[in-house]
Structure 1
């Protein structure tokens, strides 16, 4: 029976000596198999038992049954240096009332839920759960960045409606969050990047970002050898905004027309926003008929829509930097009259935008992580403390790896 309980318990180097049944709980008396632990001072093994110190600690439940371990953290006196010491137990920290794996199990629940619910579900206090999260954070963070080659940067709002943003840093190759900065300021971002060390910064080969000049300045300064790629979808977003503004302007222009042409133009533009913005190949037959109606009544929107479709095709079909650069340059000449803001932005970021044709890097992974971060915020009923959110978020992506 003892051997079976030892196997079920599954703690390496630990054997079960006895068990005691309680209501909905089981107490297992366990001890370390090692008879001669090493002295932490002189590293010599010792077998002189000085004192016994018994503790009751919580372990992973067996189904509906709570498991407690009665552990003897023995104190020895070193044969060599004569100093007393308590043996190290690899499954429980000093002065902890729970095993390390129990703390990991609770932390896993928290990153997918919220602290209060996890505490109530496991008969714990919120402070106990918070202590477990801190313990696991100290063991699993910071993250190993030795393989970092491609970095993505973006931002999200920690507290909605307050205009305060935190910066999100992502490893584009692993698709995992690797850092959060408490504010969208160059000084704060530089501080975090410098904490990684020059060796990590020098090995970064590419940085993908939106069209925020400050990000470009920071990485030009700290990672001068890295290729900076502007996200094509942020450029497309600007293009769509100008196309939609063109639709709005056409409505305003219609007010100056006679009753019949005004009515015809209003009728064609009504409900046309997403038909204009969506890729034409994805439209259903009725939507295509509506698009044809818009083009017929507004030649300007017809041209703008055609330019929008051509822009998308350039990024989807060009196979190298040379081809992409030439076609995008030609597009800029044709589009300048109709999309002045977008064209100017592309000119300002031309080198970073055409870099897309080299690696086809986008912010898609980063946007996916941003969406997951918003879910974590909702699960935690919002976070006013950045550092609590940072721990919770980083553990979500890296706790599973550490357990493996």
Structure 2
């Protein structure tokens, strides 16, 4: 089999010479090493095409295009990934993002380079022990300056244990989303007359995140908290408790303005890849994501949000 042409499968009929050795009386075929991969029964250029395509496309779609069995496509993909993992080094970032995604009936931990917007790895689970082990194995882990995450205590404990000098920053969008959900829940539970008051409180809370330094943000937050009506204190208690327990990590955002936006967006890409595969193993999904979203891309300027 050879590269498809205009959407049509292409097969080559090759005539090659068979030889007979007069000394040993053995027969052998003319070698075609320069153009044919005899293990896969295809041209080397098709093999290279399959390798590149298998990272981004489903095995079934490639099989239908070129006329090679899907199992063979999977085997080519496996060999290619093994080769890539042996030759590819993922650089430890300055800005590390940690998040999780629930796929294949299990929560998985996602590590990203938030500064350069690249996937670093996707782990089998999100257990503290697994995260600690992974962080401990990172080369040059001391170069990590900032770690963005949601309010997950096991992640925080793991980072504190392995990267004590790194600054932990709670993702701005996570805490804002939490506040928004709390306010909307209150809105549904209260009488119509309170909607205007809640809207004002919501907007004034969101205004906190426009502050350009920690001190202003902290003062503005305390002013907002002091204005909460007595009858709404219990409804806002989960948000206020979270702000208190994670105060240092939440307000660290105003010192460094680093978010986990890329990590959050990556979760939708992982889910899309998983749906597309319809039956990928975790190892296959991890490899496909790692060698599409993990490999170096064209450098774009980082925009603070």
TM-score of the pair, normalised by structure 1: 0.61
Q: CA deviation at 1:53?
A: 7.4
Aligned equivalent of 1:127? 71
Aligned residue runs from structure 1 range 45-84, under 5 A? 54-56=30-32, 69=35
Aligned residue runs from structure 1 range 209-248, under 5 A? 209-248=149-188
Q: 2:84 aligns with which of 110, 130, 140?
A: 140
Contact 1:229-1:352 within 8 A present in 2 as well: yes
Aligned equivalent of 1:371? 268
**Could you report, residue by residue, the CA deviation over 1:199-248 in whole angstroms, capped at 9, with x for unpaired residues?**
2x211111100111111011011111111000111111221222122122
User: Structure 1 128/398 Cα, relative in aligned 2: closer, same or farther at 3 Å?
Assistant: farther
Q: What are structure 1's unaligned runs of at least 5 residues?
A: 1-22, 30-51, 58-67, 71-91, 252-264, 266-296
User: Structure 1 307/28 Cα, relative in aligned 2: closer, same or farther at 3 Å?
Assistant: farther
Aligned equivalent of 1:388? 284
Contact 2:35-2:44 within 8 A present in 1 as well: no
Aligned equivalent of 2:62? 118
Q: What are structure 2's unaligned runs of at least 5 residues?
A: 1-9, 17-27, 298-305
Contact 2:96-2:114 within 8 A present in 1 as well: yes
**Could you report, residue by residue, the CA deviation over 1:136-155 in whole angstroms, capped at 9, with x for unpaired residues?**
21232265233511111111
Aligned equivalent of 2:102? 157
Distance 1:147 1:115 in 2: 31
**Could you report, residue by residue, the CA deviation over 1:82-120 in whole angstroms, capped at 9, with x for unpaired residues?**
xxxxxxxxxx7x966557764442233233321122122
Aligned residue runs from structure 1 range 267-346, under 5 A? 297-298=193-194, 301-316=195-210, 318-335=211-228, 337=233, 339-346=236-243
User: Structure 1 185/24 Cα, relative in aligned 2: closer, same or farther at 3 Å?
Assistant: closer
Q: CA RMSD in A?
A: 2.9
Contact 2:118-2:295 within 8 A present in 1 as well: no
Distance 2:148 2:270 in 1: 19
Distance 2:251 2:14 in 1: 65
TM-score of the pair, normalised by structure 2: 0.79
